[in-house]
Structure 1
Amino acid sequence: MSANPSYSRLAGQLARTKVLVVGDLMLDCYYWGDVRRISPEAPVPVVKVNVNQKTFRLGGAGNVAANLSGLGCTAAVIGLIGQDAASIQLKDLLAGANIQDHCLVDASRPTTTKTRIMASKQQVVRVDEEDGSGIGAQSADRLRTAVEAVLPSVDALILSDYGKGMFDSIDFVQAIIQSCRKMSIPVFIDPKGRDWSRYAGATCVTPNTAELELAVGSEVKGESGFIPAASDIRRRLGLDWLLVTRGPKGMALFSEDASPVMIAARAREVFDVSGAGDTVIATLAACVAGGMRFPEAAGVANTAAGIVVGKLGTWAVRWSELADALLDEAEKKPASTLWKVADVQEASARLSRWRQAEQRIVFTNGCFDLLHPGHVSLLHQARQLGDRLIVGLNTDASIRRLKGEQRPILSGQDRAAILSALEDVDMVVFFDEDTPLNLIGQLKPDILVKGADYRAADVVGKSIVESYGGQVRLVDILQGHSTTAIANKLSGKGTQR
């Protein structure tokens, strides 16, 4: 994927991606009720629970898999469950979330269950049922065999370590990492505990600040302490990447580069941070597996985390809400990104949002090869006619057909980047045909703009736009400016001897 991914293209990539989650599975149980008095037996609140308000959700590695499924990926999960009623409930939830279930039963251990008593949107108490001791050699062998069987079909692997004993064995964790490295499968790890040596050689580890400090062995104070500590542990463990989530400070992504990539937190009302780490690692792994570069994938993961912390309890992100959030961010700071470049499907989604806000849509088109003052003037005049300006941009192949094999001078990616940097331009959409007729018919702009060197009757798309009440407007052009003249001058054809 290029550095300027479009939302619909990303959605398509995620839909073709399969990610395996190996880790500590949990069943999250919620009792919802109200507190109206204090118990006469002890100074504790009495929660009157509505028997119809008991809910179950996937927790731990199950929540990571649920996030992957919610993003449109194919998600598979491997972990240990008990032979009890909680395991049946957990397996039903996995099936309901369309997650491939490769769980193994260990009758000697209970299914890890966290029961939360909720009153007036507040957690009163949590009851944990678990066995946090290390797994035996036999269980480790069974798990490793199950992982080896699924690995050939996946694009990425996530180890979701919740400190319940599954990853206590360094040999077990290293065997999985080395198998993935041999198959060029990226490994993402959500860490726990002080000793991270078992994670050595992973593609990326995603701690929060407290987890990083635990592994470092001391409190990390200020940027002057944080950056060297994170950089050092990444180097010592041979990690390709280290992504540290920092709460209101956002995220910091470390690699071999001297300076980390700092990602600002999104300003959102926070209700509950539980499960946010699951969302981060799931989104990061899915995007990277889909072909996105790490810095861009981390940015998307940051946005996804901002969504789930605004909900009470453990929730998995959904692609529809993530796409909306990404669009909101892109519209707030379009000049600093290339998210302005969209395909037709994505353009239609953005237009729908703009029209709901009663914004007037303007469209113009061209090759825009070697942008010059004439282009800038036309685009500025077009933008003044409405609230949003869409530029239909000929592809390289389209330009070659129209202007010959020596054109375009600049590639489509370069032309789109230059147009995207202009404040007047809100969106750039490529079209591969010789004319933008089909694109105009799909986008249905309110105003179609061309230069005054055209006759209105000759403007391609005029009949379509006018058929639904739109207008065709001709704007002034600056004389003496053309890409052909510039190209001839550069090649020497326009010089006088």
Structure 2
Amino acid sequence: MDASFVEKWQGLRVVVVGDVMLDRFIYGQVERISPEAPIPILHFQSEKAMLGGAANVARNVVALGGRAVLIGALGQDDGGDLIANKLTVQEGIDGSFVRIAGHPTTLKTRYVSGIHQIMRLDVERRLALDIATADDICARFAAVVGDADAVVLSDYDKGVLSREVIRRIVGLARSRGVPIVVDPKVRDIDRYAGATVLTPNAAEAAMITGLDCRQDDSAGIAARRLCELAAVETVVVTRGAQGMTIWDPANRPAGPTTIATAASEVFDVSGAGDTVVAALALALANGASVTDSASIANVAAGIAVGKRGTAVVRARELAKALKGISGSDLKIVSNTEAAVTVADWKAHGLRVGFTNGCFDLIHPGHIELLWRARAACDRLVVALNTDASVRRLKGSSRPVQREWARSVVMAAINHVDLVTLFDEDTPLELIQSLKPDCLIKGADYTIDNVVGADFVRTYGGQVLLVPLEDGHSTTSIISRANVGAAA
């Protein structure tokens, strides 16, 4: 695997065709059971609409640095309007949609208490694709395939990708030498004949072949059988904690290849398959082999499942991971990257906390502050003064540790989710950019002298002062060290 692939695929164009959906999240808090029935009462706090299905694949393509064209069908309803007129534009996706009167846009509404999903409500009806609609979808594809570097068929079995539509799309793509990645959700996989890569998950592979894909050997046999049944060039079976198994007839003497999972911890598998497909398509578009592309996609999936909610993986994150940079170091980001990450967290209903300081020599008082700060939020951002900022505040002898070392130490602390630097004397500009839900400082401050407190309270944010453990300070540690050295 080569991290340079991520840089080289920037700007490559991926055409995604498939079932476009709208994901809606209703966030609240369950505090009691209804007196009317044994069901929880969710007290509403906020809601968020996001792209789902094939649209989430396109969203991942853009996050990874590619350009995405999204083709699908939407109803002539509010959900369709939201996708076509706002969400795709907002995500930087070039949308091309057939609008169908009387057909509902697929809508999945998830009700979430804290970080737990308590119910999902689906509004959908499988599309009965008529000849005119099929022709319209294929015409839209024909208009853009000439500039495509890769094609993804994202099939959720909602009706857009009929046999005839798939046959025409695959024929057009192959005639131009464009790789085709298929994410299938149906049993009759021979409809995908001629595609480059089929990417079923272990459950789908087991359903089709009757083979248990939890073991490497049986997963390899299943991958080979799927390749023959579908008449595709290669198969990549995604197996969650067991990684991925690849069958590529070009490597027939070596047999199937299994790649161990790249995930260090799993919070949420939602959307990880879409991340895999997007990364796989971009790597193939850049000329990587299927095995190398799958290896890159496996690393991307490892990042995706470490996030809560249907979160995308960004090019910076993947490039760092491919370079072997540790999970802790992935927390260290620029102010711009911090703003993007915080916005993503907040979009998923997570409460974001913010604290700042020099944190020159980490001591028990700092750990206590960070622990209490993290307990008040779902994600904690720590902003460190740069070396130049510390010198202006503390004098020419400080900091003892340079900003890089302070960032690495801070990122290694479990209570911390993101680390960024600020060069100004105060973090006010950064606070205004991030808009944290909770601004946290030690109780040696008063709310009146906490930088950013007034701003945070203007939008309903909270300012929290947490008790500190007595007897600890960087200055006292340095003084004791100097006394010891003099003695």
Same fold per TM (> 0.5)? yes
**In 1, distance between residues paired with 2:225 and 2:265?**
34
1:222 aligned residue: 215
1:294 aligned residue: 290
1:57-76 CA distance string (max 9 Å, x none) = 11101100000000111111
- Say whether residues 1:113 and 2:107 are aligned partners: yes
Alpha-carbon shift at residue 89 of structure 1 (Å): 1.6
1:269 aligned residue: 265
The answer as to whether partners of 2:69 and 2:94 remain within 8 angstroms in 1 is: yes
The answer as to whether partners of 2:263 and 2:306 remain within 8 angstroms in 1 is: no
**In 2, distance between residues paired with 1:115 and 1:358?**
42
Alpha-carbon shift at residue 79 of structure 1 (Å): 0.3
**In 1, distance between residues paired with 2:327 and 2:29?**
41
2:116 aligned residue: 122
2:148 aligned residue: 154
**In 1, distance between residues paired with 2:320 and 2:53?**
26
- Say whether residues 1:279 and 2:279 are aligned partners: no
Please state whether the residue corresponding to 1:15 is helix, strand or coil. Answer: coil
The answer as to whether partners of 1:25 and 1:61 remain within 8 angstroms in 2 is: yes
1:337-363 CA distance string (max 9 Å, x none) = xxxxxxxxxxxxxxxxx982489xxxx
Please state whether the residue corresponding to 1:194 is helix, strand or coil. Answer: coil
1:428-484 CA distance string (max 9 Å, x none) = xxxxxxxxxxxxxxxxxxxxxxxxxxxxxxxxxxxxxxxxxxxxxxxxxxxxxxxxx
**In 1, distance between residues paired with 2:64 and 2:269?**
19
Please state whether the residue corresponding to 1:72 is helix, strand or coil. Answer: coil
Q: Provide structure 1 residue ranges, at least 5 long, that are not aligned to the other structure.
A: 333-353, 360-497
Task: For 2:44, give the aligned amino acid.
Answer: V
Higher Rg of the two aligned structures: 1
Label 1:229 to 1:11 Cα distance change in 2 as closer, same or farther (>3 A). Answer: closer
- Say whether residues 1:25 and 2:73 are aligned partners: no
**In 1, distance between residues paired with 2:327 and 2:79?**
45
1:306-329 CA distance string (max 9 Å, x none) = 111122221221111212222335
Q: Which moved more, 1:306-315 or 1:178-187?
A: 306-315
TM-score (norm: length of structure 1):
0.63
Q: Which moved more, 1:70-79 or 1:12-21?
A: 12-21
Task: For 1:36, give the aligned amino acid.
Answer: E
**In 1, distance between residues paired with 2:276 and 2:82?**
25
Alpha-carbon shift at residue 266 of structure 1 (Å): 2.0
Task: For 1:44, give the aligned amino acid.
Answer: I
TM-score (norm: length of structure 2):
0.65
CA RMSD of aligned residues (A): 2.1
Which of the numbers 67, 76, 80 marks the counterpart of 1:83? 76
Please state whether the residue corresponding to 1:328 is helix, strand or coil. Answer: coil
2:313 aligned residue: 317
- Say whether residues 1:102 and 2:101 are aligned partners: no
2:238 aligned residue: 245
Please state whether the residue corresponding to 1:28 is helix, strand or coil. Answer: strand
**In 2, distance between residues paired with 1:227 and 1:296?**
17
Which of the numbers 46, 52, 59 marks the counterpart of 2:41? 46
Please state whether the residue corresponding to 2:262 is helix, strand or coil. Answer: coil
**In 2, distance between residues paired with 1:141 and 1:42?**
49
Count of aligned positions: 330
1:264-313 CA distance string (max 9 Å, x none) = 11242212111111000000001110122222221111111111112222
Task: For 1:138, give the aligned amino acid.
Answer: A
Q: Provide structure 2 residue ranges, at least 5 long, that are not aligned to the other structure.
A: 329-401, 408-487
Please state whether the residue corresponding to 1:165 is helix, strand or coil. Answer: coil
**In 1, distance between residues paired with 2:50 and 2:239?**
26
Label 1:220 to 1:109 Cα distance change in 2 as closer, same or farther (>3 A). Answer: same
**In 2, distance between residues paired with 1:107 and 1:331?**
48
Which of the numbers 400, 404, 416 marks the counterpart of 1:356? 404
Which of the numbers 157, 160, 175 marks the counterpart of 1:163? 157
Aligned counterparts, 1:162-201, within 5 A: 162-167=156-161, 169-201=162-194
The answer as to whether partners of 2:214 and 2:239 remain within 8 angstroms in 1 is: no
1:358-416 CA distance string (max 9 Å, x none) = 89xxxxxxxxxxxxxxxxxxxxxxxxxxxxxxxxxxxxxxxxxxxxxxxxxxxxxxxxx
Percent sequence identity is: 39
Please state whether the residue corresponding to 2:324 is helix, strand or coil. Answer: helix
Alpha-carbon shift at residue 222 of structure 1 (Å): 3.3
2:129 aligned residue: 135
Please state whether the residue corresponding to 1:102 is helix, strand or coil. Answer: strand
Please state whether the residue corresponding to 2:245 is helix, strand or coil. Answer: strand
The answer as to whether partners of 1:27 and 1:112 remain within 8 angstroms in 2 is: yes
The answer as to whether partners of 1:193 and 1:214 remain within 8 angstroms in 2 is: no
Alpha-carbon shift at residue 330 of structure 1 (Å): 8.4
2:398 aligned residue: none
1:303 aligned residue: 299
Task: For 1:313, give the aligned amino acid.
Answer: G
Label 1:278 to 1:172 Cα distance change in 2 as closer, same or farther (>3 A). Answer: same
**In 2, distance between residues paired with 1:244 and 1:306?**
15
Label 1:246 to 1:331 Cα distance change in 2 as closer, same or farther (>3 A). Answer: closer
The answer as to whether partners of 2:209 and 2:225 remain within 8 angstroms in 1 is: no
1:30-77 CA distance string (max 9 Å, x none) = 011100000111101001011xx2111111011000000001111110
Please state whether the residue corresponding to 2:284 is helix, strand or coil. Answer: helix
